[in-house]
Structure 1
Amino acid sequence: MIRLASWIVASLVIALVAAWLIALPGTLTLEVGGYRMQPRLGAAIFMLLLIAVVIIFIWAIIRRIIATPRVLARRSRERRKELGVEALSDGFVALQSGDPARARMLAREAQSRLPANQAARLLEARADLALGDMPAAREHYRALIGDEKTALAALTGLYEQARAQNRPDAALTFARKALTLAPQAGWAANAVFEDYIRRGQWAEAVAMVNIETTGTREARARKRRRQAVIETARAREAETSDPMRALDHALTALKLLPDFVPAALIAARIHINHGETRKAMSLLRRIWRATGHPDAAALYAHAQPGASAVERLKRMRELIDVPAPHRAAAMALARAAIDAYDWPLARTTLQPYLNEPTQGIASLMAEIEEGQSGDQGKAREWLARAVRAPRDPAWTADGLTSDEWEPTSPVTGRLDAFEWKVPVTATGRPPEAVPPLPGPLQPAQGLPDVLPLAPAGKPQ
């Protein structure tokens, strides 16, 4: 409505102006080519305006004719660009759909239409890699490294190619270059971090973790756990060669994860070796109450070097009530009672768990039957039940079980792989077949050989 009213008003104004011009008094004399014209002043002005409009119209036509070649060339370039973008898009779709041959064909078509677009060359490199044409893919990637925009993508492709060809050193080189160009590249950071872990370069690994940026609560918790595991690995490695440095690392890990059993056991062993029994026992009591881990109870019983079996049992009775609150406590107390030849206590402690015994409980009962009454038949019966009984929790990582906690999996090299849990299946791999990690842990000086020689694993 407003637009219609505006149009009517404008039309009226134009008509009034035209009428005013025509009604202007006076004449205008024009002589052109021997002809003389004397139109009224308003008509002359109207004719001049009309002539100006005709001239402008004619000039627009002439300019359009002159610009036609340039316009046609521009439209041709735009059409060529549209076809190139379409080929590039179809190529990426074909690559993701599992048709690398068509993707390479479309990538070459896109390159012919978009010679300055590096994405087409990157698509061809990816297609070559998918087709197994490694030399061609490597040539494309190396050409793309020179461009700042495509350098990281090229290094990513070279890294994947090196991994596909089982060239870990080359893959690591590309990852390090990518990390230098883009510190935020997650795949490169993970590759370098895993290499540090595999080589046991714990200082470099923890430095990488320390500079990680975290946002969510879960990310901060993962970062703290990784830091604690690496610090514990450093403590484990230095426990025999430099105990005080190992103690610093273990205490750092406990600040990050207060109930982290591996770090607590290392710190407790170092305290014991330095005669700080009270500190060790206080730490072990706290860890036992928080996790109920049997290694904490075993080390607590042996906290006083040279103590007799009866003294160890007395110390264990201070830690564990009767009846035992859970199976791990019952087994730890029964073990101490068997060592002290207190057969009634050992039997009473295990009694609540005899209906569904695990392998460990059945083995302890076999020792009790043989030691208390010398009944070889009942001992063999319990040993037979142990073969068929469910397994007890153990350090488990990637299908392997171990008596010792280790910071990485011996199968995959994954950090923090060992967990204290019931193994799903038994492994046929003997312990000696597991490759040793740097800095094997040795028994602490002054402690009996029955002590666990490695820290406990992830708390329950």
Structure 2
Amino acid sequence: MIRTALVIFLVVAVATAILAVTGEPGHASIVWLGWRADMTAAAMVLITLLGALATMIGWRLLLWILEAPRRAERARAEDRRRQANEALTRGFLAAAAGDGSEARRLALKAADLADEAPGLVRVLAAQAAEAAGDAVATSAAYSAMLGFPEMRLAGHKGLMAQALAQGDKATALRHAEQAYEMGRTARWAWRAVLEARLEAGDWDGALDLVKSALDRKIVSPIVAERARAALLAASAAQLENSAEPKARSQATDYAVEAAKLQPGFAPGVVMAARLLAADGKTGRAAQVLETAWKVAPHPALWLAYRDLKTNETPRQRAERLSGLAELNPTARESRILFVEQALINGVPIRAREAAKALEDEPLTIRIAGLFARVAFAAGKPDEARVWMARAVGAPQEPDWTDLDPEGQAFAYQPADWARLTAVYAETGELIHPRHERAEKTMSELPELPISYADSSPFLAGQEAAPPPYGVEEGRYDDDEPEPPPPPPVSQRRAPARRRLASGPRAAK
């Protein structure tokens, strides 16, 4: 309005100035109630304009006076809102800092001031009660949220967390299930329900939950795919030892599907290869292992690949393992496998050359044991003993702990499968439960004579106990020297009982 008045004023002023400059001021007369006023046109315009401006100013002044009470009310409301926001901010900060008493004081203050944000006040009250350690008040605050549709999800989450803190898993699961049913994107609720089903070993229920989460776009397709692969492998492990042919067939289908979904998931791949080989489908089992080796080499893969055939010569086995390593030649496991196949073939020179590719690798017990075997195969027992000594303080490789010396690879309990599934689905990383529990693993070192003697050979194993990593006694080329005879029994440790990594678990 003010801008319009200014524009009109400027237009009239310009018109009046033009009239004055041109020398034609014009004439205007006003007759009102017997009065007559004569003036120029320019003066008439200016008087009219000034009168209009004065009227407008007076009207605006009247309105400003009449609106004074409303302005005062708005100012008070704005000041109240500012104080409420400050109380809420300071209250949340106090709750986050663990200052329960200050948080509760500010929550009460915010409740008196924040009429426009009752939801935030309730959240602050609940968090303040949590910070103060008042379980009853916390439960009451979160329970009150269930009465408001927009706050129901937050209420269930708070009650679930409180139930878990108190060890009441049943109540926590109930709140998580209710939250999952009402929230399309409640990922925390999905994760809580999934963990509960994993803990109970309900693999089928967990699979249905993953499918529904994917349909509702709670999880990404890659997370759902990894979760399905791990769950199918867990289901196959549960059915593998069943005496019913139908159950074993179902286990094979589950394991094969898991290997197709995630070729990099070694537990599923090894299980699929083992079950296929048991059904006489050795070629298909080899194909599954080769596909997995291209994606993510794992020691259990080449051991399972080695054990697919038991009626071949060391040279044939070495050639077959070399072909597997060539599928992913730059991978660490492939470089180790090149050394292994040279040892199996009985060619120490080639094994020593292949071992040079591992010199920059961090020293582990497995690497040290491999170098020791290479040195002994090359006729250097003293160097082998040095590597054995270095292995004493070297760390263990977690992947190698997946091999059970008394059974098969990835011989996990349901609780292990549950944790493995949860971690692998979220991160894609393969954990090692047996390593975390520090369980007994396959020996990564060859056996060493008890007493030191230059003439004592480096023990490589006997018929009753095949040497580690597939080195077979007496299998050397014609141009290589035969290994020296073993020392007297009194100078040796008793050979440890060893099984193939992919062989069936011995009956207890």
TM class by shorter chain equals 0.5 to 0.7
For residue 252 of structure 1, the aligned residue among 242, 257, 264 is 257
- The structural deviation recorded for 1:3 is 10
Contact 1:268 1:281 in 2 (8 A): yes
Contact kept, 8 Å, 1:91 with 1:123, in 2: the verdict is yes
Q: CA deviation at 1:105?
A: 1.1
Aligned residues of 2:234 and 2:417 also touching (Cα < 8 A): no
1:88 aligned onto 2:50? no
Residue identity matched to 1:147: F
Structure-2 residue corresponding to 1:39: 35
Return the alpha-carbon distance in structure 1 between the equivalents of residues 415 and 138 of structure 2.
34
Aligned pairs, number: 397
Ranges in structure 2 where 5+ consecutive residues have no aligned partner: 20-24, 40-44, 326-333, 442-497
> Are the structure 2 counterparts of residues 39 and 192 from structure 1 closer, same or farther at C-alpha, using a change threshold of 3 Å?
same
CA distance in 2, matches of 1:7, 1:52: 10
Q: Out of 275, 291, 307, which is 1:270 matched to?
A: 275
Find the aligned partners of 1:104 and 1:454 in 2 and give their Cα distance.
62
Distance 1:316 1:295, change over 3 A: farther
CA distance 1:312–1:73, shift in 2 (3 Å): same
* Structure 2 counterpart of 1:8, from 2, 7, 10: 10
For residue 326 of structure 1, what is the aligned residue in structure 2?
A: 335
**CA RMSD, Structure 1 to Structure 2 (Å):** 5.3
Distance change >3 Å, CA 219–CA 171, structure 1 → 2: same
Contact 1:360 1:392 in 2 (8 A): no
Q: What secondary structure does 1:88 align onto?
A: helix
Secondary structure of residue in 2 paired with 1:83 = helix
Mapped to 1, the partners of 2:97 and 2:296 lie a distance apart of 50
- The alignment status of 1:388 with 2:392, answered yes or no, reads yes
Is the 1:268–1:284 contact (alpha carbons within 8 Å) kept by the matching residues of 2? yes
Matches within 5 A, 1:67-216: 72-115=72-115, 117=117, 118-210=119-211, 211-212=213-214
CA contact (8 A) 1:233 1:407 kept: no
Q: Quick check: 1:301–1:316 contact (8 Å CA) kept in 2?
A: yes
Q: Distance in 2 between matches of 1:63 and 1:326?
A: 89
- 1:321-368 CA-partner distances (Å, limit 9, x unpaired): 49x96334544775xx5xxxxxx82867765659989458749978x9
CA contact (8 A) 2:364 2:395 kept: no
Q: How far, CA to CA, are the matches of 1:249 and 1:270 in structure 2?
A: 10
Q: Partner of 2:103: helix, strand, or coil?
A: helix
- What letter is aligned with 2:399? W
Q: Please report the TM-score for the alignment, with normalisation by the length of structure 1.
A: 0.66
Structure 1 position 261, deviation (Å): 2.9
Could you tell me how far 1:114 is from its partner in structure 2? 2.6
Q: What is the CA deviation profile of residues 32-83 of structure 1, one whole-angstrom value per residue up to 9, with x for unaligned ones? A: xxxxxx334999xx99x99999999999888877776666555444433332
Q: TM-score, normalised by structure 2?
A: 0.60
Structure 1 residue 23 corresponds to structure 2 residue 23 = no
1:390–1:82: structure 2 CA closer, same or farther, 3 Å change rule? closer
* Paired residues of 1:193 and 1:205 also in contact (CA < 8 A): yes
- For 1:454 and 1:135, how far apart are their aligned partners in 2? 55
Aligned equivalents of 2:51 and 2:366: distance in 1?
112
User: What is the distance in 1 between the residues matched to 2:364 and 2:85?
Assistant: 69
> In 2, Cα distance between the equivalents of 1:248 and 1:264?
12
Secondary structure at the counterpart of residue 23 of structure 1: strand
Residues 290-309 of structure 1 mapped to structure 2, 5 A cutoff: 292-304=297-309, 307=310
- Cα deviation, residue 120, structure 1: 1.2
Q: Aligned partner of 1:95: which letter?
A: A
Unaligned runs of 5+ in 1: 30-37, 338-343, 432-447, 456-460
CA-to-aligned-CA distance 1:182-213 (integer Å, 9 cap, x gap): 12022222222222222222233333434437
Counterpart amino acid of residue 252 in structure 2: L
Q: Are 1:297 and 1:332, in contact at CA under 8 Å, matched by a contact in 2?
A: no
Amino acid at match of 1:283: V
- Equivalent residue, structure 2, for 1:452: 502
Q: Distance in 2 between matches of 1:273 and 1:20?
A: 118
**Secondary structure, aligned partner of 1:212:** helix
1:247, CA displacement in angstroms? 2.4
Shift of 1:142: 0.7
Letter in 2 for 1:395: D
CA distance, structure 1, for counterparts of residue 320 and residue 154 of structure 2: 59
Give the direction of change, closer, same or farther, for the CA distance of 1:390–1:11 in structure 2 (3 Å limit).
same
